[in-house]
Amino acid sequence: MKTIKIGALADSGDLYPFIPLINGMVKSVDLDLEFEFIPTVQEVNDKIVKKDVDVSVPSAALYPYIQNDYSILSSAVASAVDGITGMPVLSMKNMDINEVRESNIIVHGLNTTAFNLYKLLIGKYKKLTVVHRVLDEVDAMVNGDGVMVAVHELKAMYDLEKMGVKPYRLLSMWDMWKNLSGNKPMPMGTVVINSDLGMDTMKRFKDIYNKSKKYAEEHMDEVLPVDVKIMREVQNSDISLEVIKGTIGADVKEYNVSQSDVKSGLEFFYDIMEKRNLLPHVDKISLI
């Protein structure tokens, strides 16, 4: 039996498709699935680059660097199609885009899609602060002098509300992307699989992943308590059930964009990023 090492990101929206497999609600009869939980996107990206795991959920912006080693599951590309998860830029003071470009920015990783979209759509910044966890991002914005690229907007707003803070929503990456791309889906995260496993194994994993994802979306009452438990243990934070439900609800939409639209969004993203000298050339997007 083939063993597949899975690095599951402990973020509700990316975690929920794996939970039925993790908890035995859906069983794989011909693959041995080993799970570890990874707390941050940057740590996921690092593990993928090192090939420490066979399957995980790296940033879409990482793919040009791993294209020879991993393939993307075509049914598992988180793509923004509206402003609900459109990566707003938040700040403690109101400012226009020119002032944003003269500000310090806070992002959750160098190889993240959020940082790369910032460079594409906004461009300049005064100083870069990299922190990996949502609450650390919020603390850096509240206690420092900078703007935050809020990938996890619901979680960020929840933490800010607990602090009694109401930030300014300055810009929306989605709005800027929509104008640039002609309303194509905006790639954010991907599920990738180690190409060394071979096409047969990759397809078998995709099938069981899709079954798990479908089960999760149809039995959210079973999935939510497990999601909450994992999130609280791995993130060491008392994250609200309502925030987790809202996060998953938004990400269900992102993970169910049609595969033709997903491909169109990825192709535009990698093409424009290469033309702007922000990411390396992608020879071919390997979609399973």
Sheet holding 55-56: strands in order across? 31-38, 2-9, 55-56, 186-194, 70-80
With a cut of 70, say whether residue 124 has pLDDT above it.
yes
Residue whose entry in the numeric block shows the structure tokens 């603390």? 139
Q: How high is the mean pLDDT of the chain?
A: 90
- Assess whether 193 and 164 both reside in one domain: no
Q: Which residues face 5 on adjacent strands?
A: 34
Residues spanned by the domain of 216? 2-79+185-275
With CA atoms as reference, report the closest residue to 59 among 134, 109, 113. Answer: 113
Contact 28, 208 (CB under 8 A): yes
- Assess whether 62 and 95 both reside in one domain: no
- For the segment 160-169, what is each residue's pLDDT rounded down to a tens digit? 777 788 889 9
Sheet holding 146-149: strands in order across? 127-130, 104-107, 146-149, 88-91, 168-172
Provide the percentage of residues in the chain whose pLDDT is more than 90.
Answer: 65
Domain boundary among 126, 151, 181: 181
- Assess whether 194 and 163 both reside in one domain: no
pLDDT of residue 91: 92
pLDDT grade for 123, boundaries at 50, 70 and 90: very high
pLDDT grade for 97, boundaries at 50, 70 and 90: very high
CATH at residue 163: 3.40.190.10
Measured distance CA(191)–CA(233) in Å, rounded: 23
With a cut of 80, say whether residue 65 has pLDDT above it.
yes
Domain boundary among 163, 181, 199: 181
With a cut of 80, say whether residue 108 has pLDDT above it.
yes
SS (H, E, C) 64-94: HHHCCCEEEEEEEEEEECCCCCCCEEEECCC
pLDDT of residue 126: 93
Query: Is the CA virtual torsion 35, 242, 77, 279 positive or negative?
Result: negative
SS (H, E, C) 123-152: CCCCEEEECCCHHHHHHHHHHCCEEEECCC
Domain boundary among 142, 157, 181: 181
pLDDT of residue 278: 97
- Assess whether 93 and 215 both reside in one domain: no
With a cut of 80, say whether residue 236 has pLDDT above it.
no
- Assess whether 112 and 132 both reside in one domain: yes
pLDDT of residue 241: 76
At 228, the amino acid letter reads V
- Assess whether 213 and 171 both reside in one domain: no
- Assess whether 131 and 259 both reside in one domain: no
Surface-to-core class of residue 2, CB atoms within 10 Å of its CB (0-12 exposed, 13-18 middle, 19+ buried): middle
